[in-house]
Amino acid sequence: MTTIAKDTAVRFNYILKDESGNVIDQSQGEPLAYLHGHNNIIPGLEKELEGKSAGDSLTAVIEPADAYGEYQEQAVQQVPRANFQGVDNIQPGMQFQSEAEGQVMLVTVTDVNDDTVTVDANHPLAGKKLSFDVEIVEVRAATEDELNHGHVHGVGGVQH
């Protein structure tokens, strides 16, 4: 039986919960597919899945540093409302792409007033301890194409 290790293709079902037990996300009928050891999923979950096999189930509690990082206060900034030309009705919760120092990032609007818009570049799950209930469906050796492309192809993976 193949166990999860670098360069294996893995398919698993999951339920993701926050510290209060609220469901944040879950696989919807089709297991998530990823290539192990290629940074396709958060590092803490990848570490917890290492050595497991198809049919295994587990609950993995992942600290923020091994998930989406610690919450960074400096990632919250006020920008002039004039920077949002062409957007008339800016509301908290809206997301925009922003470019800073050559990197494109997703920012979420947290507050709006007449002159400024407060945006947060933290990942929405930054600073949160996460709990994954996982059922491993399939583990197999990755194909040469998958290794060259850095992701799983076919069912549950990238189609191309």
Block residue for tokens 């990848």 = 46
- For domain 73-120, give the fold: Thrombin, subunit H (2.40.10)
Range(s) within the chain of domains with CATH label 2.40.10.330: 73-120
Looking at residue 47, its pLDDT comes to 97
Return averaged pLDDT per consecutive 10 residues of the chain, 160 residues in all. 94 96 92 94 97 97 96 94 87 88 88 94 94 97 92 69
Class of residue 66 by CB neighbours under 10 A (exposed 0-12, middle 13-18, buried 19+): middle
Q: Note the pLDDT tens digit of each residue in 145-160.
A: 999 998 898 766 665 4
pLDDT in tens, 117-135: 999 999 999 999 999 999 9
Q: What is the pLDDT of residue 26?
A: 96
Task: Classify domain 8-68+126-149 at the CATH topology level.
Answer: Chitinase A; domain 3 (3.10.50)
Are 151 and 143 a contacting pair, CB within 8 Å? Answer: no
Distance from C-alpha of 137 to C-alpha of 41, rounded to nearest angstrom: 16
- φ, ψ for residue 26, nearest 5 deg: -160, 160
